[in-house]
C-alpha cells in the first residue's frame, strides 16, 4: 500500500538527548491523523522532521513512496500551519493568501483564481479585503489555513494551531477543521497535547511519550482499549486500582486489599497468578445504586459529591485504602435524587470496561 506519509525507524538526537526514538508510522491518503502527547514527548520534533525543518539522525521518511529525508523543506509537497499564524499585518486577507503564489511567479489570473478557491474553502470570501487586525482569532486561523491550502500541498501539517484561541472558539474550530479536511480530502497531520481535540477530529491517533509511539489506533480504541497505563492516564480520567492477580484464567480476579477483590477483563498478555497488575476503569463506566440488586456489587460510601453541570462526580470509598471516582450523567434528576456525602452505595461495572494493565 502506498501511504501519504511513512516513517520508518525514525530517530532524532540532540547530543545525548533522544527526542524521537525509532518510531514507525504509516499515514493514509486523506486521513486526519493526530500526534498526541505532553510537552517534551517528541511530537513537534516528529512534525518538523516530516516538514524538513529538521534532519533525522537515523531512519527514513517517505511521501507517497518517495524517500525525502535528504530533500529540503521547500521542495517537499507539504505546508505547515503553526500556532502563531504569522499573518502580514499590512496586507489584506487576499494578499496574505496570495503571497506564496506570488513568490512562485505564477500568472496573475491563476493566483486570483486559487486565492478565491482557498478563501471559499475556509468560508472567508467576504473578508478578502480585510486586514488581520480586523479579524477574530478564529478568522485569522482560517486565513492561515487558506494560505497553506492555496499551494495545494499533498500533506498539511498543523502544529497546535488552535492553542491561542479561547475554549469556546477552540471547540467550534475543531469541528470546522474536521469539516474542511473532509471537504478537500487531503492528508492532515495534527500535533496537539489536548486529548479532546485529538478524540474529536482524528481518524487515528498516535500517542507519544518520551520519544516513543506508545499506541496508534482509532480514537475509540485509544480511549476504550488503552494498551498501557501511560495511554490510559493521558487520555481522559481513569481509576487505577493496583493489586495482585489471583485468577489469570478466564475472568481476571484482582485482590486489592485482604478483604477486597474485583473482577476485570483478562489481560491480552499472558500473566500468572500472583502478578502485580493495575486495573483501569473509566469513571463514567461505573454504575452507582442505592440498593444491592447485583451479587457482584461492591459496597461503598460516598466521600465526595461534586456537581459539574453535565454530570455528578462522586468519590466512593470501597475499602480501607481503595477509592474510585464515578461520574453519573445528570438526566434531569432533582437534588434529592442525587447521592450525598456519607450515603451508602453499591458499585458495579460491565466486566469488559475494567481492563488489566501490567505497566
In the chain, domain spans: 5-233, 238-357
Cα angle, residue 237 at apex, residues 302 and 217 outer, rounded to 5°: 145
Q: How many CA atoms lie within 13 A of 45 on its CB side?
A: 27
Q: Kindly tell me the number of DSSP H helices and DSSP E strands found in the chain.
A: 8, 20
Strands 32-36 and 187-192: parallel
Does the domain at residues 5-233 carry the CATH identifier 3.40.50.300? yes
Q: Which three cell numbers stand for residue 211?
A: 520519544
Does the domain at residues 238-357 carry the CATH identifier 2.40.70.10? no
Q: Return per-residue pLDDT of the chain as tens, 359 residues.
A: 789 999 999 999 999 999 999 999 999 999 999 999 999 999 999 999 999 999 999 999 999 999 999 999 999 999 998 877 788 999 999 999 999 899 889 999 999 999 999 898 888 899 999 999 999 888 888 898 889 888 889 999 999 888 777 778 788 888 888 988 998 889 999 999 999 899 999 999 999 999 999 999 999 999 999 988 999 999 889 999 999 998 767 788 899 999 899 988 877 777 788 889 999 999 999 999 998 878 889 999 999 999 998 899 999 999 899 999 999 988 766 666 789 999 999 999 999 999 988 76
Taking the CB of residue 335, how many other CB atoms lie within 10 A of it? Answer: 7
Amino acid at each position: 500500500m502506498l501511504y501519504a506519509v511513512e516513517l520508518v525507524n525514525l530517530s532524532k538526537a540532540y547530543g545525548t538527548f533522544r527526542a524521537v526514538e525509532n518510531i514507525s508510522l504509516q499515514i493514509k491518503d486523506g486521513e486526519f491523523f493526530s500526534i498526541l502527547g505532553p510537552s517534551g514527548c517528541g511530537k513537534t520534533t516528529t512534525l518538523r522532521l516530516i516538514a524538513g525543518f529538521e534532519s533525522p539522525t537515523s531512519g527514513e521518511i517517505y511521501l507517497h513512496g518517495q524517500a525525502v529525508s535528504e530533500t529540503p523543506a521547500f521542495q517537499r509537497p507539504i505546508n505547515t500551519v503553526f500556532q502563531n499564524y504569522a499573518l502580514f499585518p499590512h496586507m489584506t486577507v487576499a494578499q496574505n493568501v496570495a503571497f506564496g503564489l506570488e513568490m512562485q511567479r505564477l500568472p496573475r489570473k491563476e493566483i486570483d483564481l486559487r486565492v478565491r478557491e482557498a478563501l471559499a474553502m475556509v468560508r472567508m470570501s467576504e473578508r478578502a479585503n480585510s486586514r488581520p487586525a480586523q479579524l477574530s482569532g478564529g478568522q485569522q486561523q482560517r486565513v492561515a489555513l487558506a494560505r497553506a491550502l492555496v499551494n495545494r500541498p499533498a500533506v498539511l501539517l498543523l502544529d497546535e494551531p488552535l492553542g491561542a484561541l479561547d475554549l469556546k472558539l477552540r471547540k467550534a474550530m475543531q469541528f470546522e477543521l474536521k469539516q474542511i479536511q473532509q471537504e478537500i480530502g487531503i492528508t492532515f497531520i495534527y500535533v496537539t497535547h489536548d486529548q479532546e481535540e485529538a478524540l474529536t477530529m482524528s481518524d487515528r491517533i498516535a500517542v507519544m511519550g518520551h520519544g516513543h509511539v506508545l499506541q496508534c489506533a482509532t480514537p475509540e480504541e485509544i480511549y476504550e482499549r488503552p494498551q498501557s497505563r501511560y495511554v490510559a492516564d493521558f487520555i481522559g480520567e481513569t481509576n487505577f486500582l493496583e493489586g495482585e492477580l489471583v485468577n489469570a484464567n478466564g475472568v481476571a480476579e484482582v485482590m486489592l486489599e485482604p478483604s477486597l477483590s474485583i473482577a476485570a477483563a483478562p489481560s491480552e498478555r499472558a500473566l500468572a497468578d500472583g502478578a502485580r497488575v493495575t486495573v483501569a476503569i473509566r469513571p463514567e463506566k461505573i454504575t452507582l445504586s442505592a440498593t444491592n440488586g447485583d451479587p457482584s456489587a461492591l459496597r461503598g460510601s460516598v466521600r465526595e459529591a461534586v456537581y459539574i453541570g453535565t454530570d455528578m462526580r462522586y468519590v466512593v470509598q470501597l475499602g480501607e485504602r481503595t477509592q474510585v471516582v464515578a461520574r453519573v450523567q445528570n438526566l434531569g434528576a432533582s437534588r434529592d435524587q442525587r447521592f450525598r456525602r456519607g450515603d451508602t452505595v453499591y458499585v458495579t461495572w460491565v466486566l469488559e470496561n475494567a481492563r488489566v494493565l501490567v505497566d
